[in-house]
């Protein structure tokens, strides 16, 4: 039997998901919904979806629905679903989880699985979609006790089929970790880009910007609208993460000012050990 999969949000995440799922089964039929008509047309032209519809009511009949839209939109959309089939599974891909998890109406909460695939690029739109965006990446599944047993199994099978690494976590705990590991680095990248542009001429940036600067500033190309929503929803955790970072930067500043080079070297070596974890 064909499984109808609805994707709300036909950008990088939704488009890449469609490509990846097509590689796991030929039994899927993809239905797309996006407020941007250009995205809808591109998604159809690229074969990311089989058809595009215009309302939530039309997509509610799908067996599985993915919400790959900004976090504020996830909350708004989640509150509009009514009279869902008992086996309908809705999976959101929001980068924050606590407010989303707590905002889903109790009548439909069992239909939802709140997930955060720890992946992405600075690009957006259907044309940015790639086949391997999810492969070997972590997906954090939050507050699974609030999801129906059937929905839990559907989500776990889908993510396993995508060859993702499943991590289970409380939504509140997730948001604090995400603030340090994902959200704060985005804030720093935006700050770095603005600091350099306010001090350096365009010609100097082009001439001197090497790989390190490009790596650190790359995610400053990410969608401001999407990241504004994320920063708003995870405000308290983000501010804590920024304060911790500022404390470390102040240490560096003082050691340089006082020419404490040995202490600076030790501080840098401590930072080196991060890649003992990551590599």
Question: For the residues 88-103, what does the mean pLDDT come to?
Answer: 96
Averaged pLDDT, 169-195: 94
Q: Residue 213's pLDDT band (boundaries 50, 70, 90)?
A: confident
Is a pLDDT exceeding 80 seen at residue 118?
yes
Tens-digit pLDDT profile for residues 121-172: 777 889 888 999 999 999 999 999 999 999 999 999 999 999 999 999 999 9
User: Is residue 15 pLDDT above 90, yes or no?
Assistant: yes
- Which pLDDT band, with edges at 50, 70 and 90, does 59 fall under? very high
Please give the pLDDT value at position 203.
76
Q: Is 76 helix (H, G, I), strand (E, B) or coil?
A: helix
Question: How would DSSP label each residue in 163-208?
Answer: TPEEEEE-HHHHHHHHIIIIIHHHHHHHHHHHHHHHHS-HHHHHHH
Q: What residue spans define the domains of the chain?
A: 3-169, 174-278
236/28 Cα distance (integer angstroms): 40
In this prediction, residue 190 carries a pLDDT of 93
Query: What pLDDT was estimated at residue 275?
Result: 83
What architecture is the 174-278 domain classified under in CATH? Answer: Orthogonal Bundle (1.10)
**Within this chain, domains 3-169 and 174-278 share the same CATH topology:** no
Confidence band for 204, pLDDT divided at 50, 70 and 90: confident
Q: What pLDDT, on the 0 to 100 scale, is given for residue 212?
A: 79
Whole-angstrom distance, CA of residue 237 vs CA of residue 180: 8
> Is the distance from CB of 81 to CB of 90 less than 8 angstroms?
yes
pTM (2 decimals)?
A: 0.87
- Say if residue 181 is exposed, middle or buried (CB neighbours under 10 Å; 0-12, 13-18, 19+): exposed
Q: State the Cα–Cα distance between residues 235 and 164, nearest whole angstrom.
A: 28
The whole-angstrom separation of Cα 13 and Cα 174 is: 20
**Residue keyed to tokens 């504020």:** 72
DSSP state of 2: P
What span, in angstroms and rounded, lies between the C-alpha atoms of 203 and 74?
41
Radius of gyration of the chain measured on its C-alpha atoms:
21
Q: CB-hemisphere CA count at 13 Å for 158?
A: 26
Residues 6+ apart with CB under 8 A from 134: 16, 17, 20, 117, 119, 162, 163, 164
Burial of 207 (0-12, 13-18, 19+ CB in 10 A): exposed
Find the mean pLDDT for residues 261-275: 94
CATH topology for the 3-169 domain: Rossmann fold (3.40.50)
Q: Is the CB of residue 59 less than 8 Å from the CB of residue 65?
A: yes
For residue 198, what are its two tokens? 């306010």
What residues are paired with 33 via a beta bridge?
8
Neighbours of 13 (CB within 10 A): 25
């Amino acid at each position: 039997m064909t499984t109808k999969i609805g994707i709300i949000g036909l950008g990088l995440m939704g488009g890449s998901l469609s490509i990846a799922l097509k590689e796991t089964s030929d039994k899927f039929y993809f239905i797309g919904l996006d407020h941007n008509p250009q995205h809808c047309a591109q998604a159809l032209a690229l074969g990311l979806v089989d058809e595009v519809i215009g309302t939530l009511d039309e997509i509610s009949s799908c067996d599985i629905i993915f919400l790959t839209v900004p976090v504020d939109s996830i909350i708004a959309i989640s509150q509009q679903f009514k009279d869902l089939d008992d086996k309908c599974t809705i999976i959101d891909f929001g980068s924050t989880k606590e407010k989303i998890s707590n905002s889903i109406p109790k009548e439909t909460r069992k239909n939802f699985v709140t997930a955060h695939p720890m992946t992405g690029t600075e690009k957006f739109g259907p044309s940015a979609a790639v086949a391997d965006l999810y492969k070997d990446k972590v997906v954090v599944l939050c507050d699974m006790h609030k999801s129906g047993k059937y929905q839990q199994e559907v989500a776990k099978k889908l993510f396993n089929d995508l060859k993702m690494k499943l991590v289970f976590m409380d939504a509140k705990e997730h948001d604090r970790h995400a603030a340090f590991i994902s959200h704060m680095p985005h804030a720093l990248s935006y700050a770095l880009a603005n600091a350099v542009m306010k001090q350096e001429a365009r010609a100097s940036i082009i001439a001197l910007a090497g790989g390190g600067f490009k790596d650190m500033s790359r995610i400053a190309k990410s969608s401001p609208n999407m990241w504004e929503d994320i920063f708003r929803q995870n405000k308290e955790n983000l501010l804590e993460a920024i304060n911790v970072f500022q404390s470390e930067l102040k240490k560096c500043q003082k050691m340089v000012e006082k020419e404490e080079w040995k202490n600076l070297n030790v501080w840098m070596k401590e930072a080196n050990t991060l890649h003992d974890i990551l590599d």
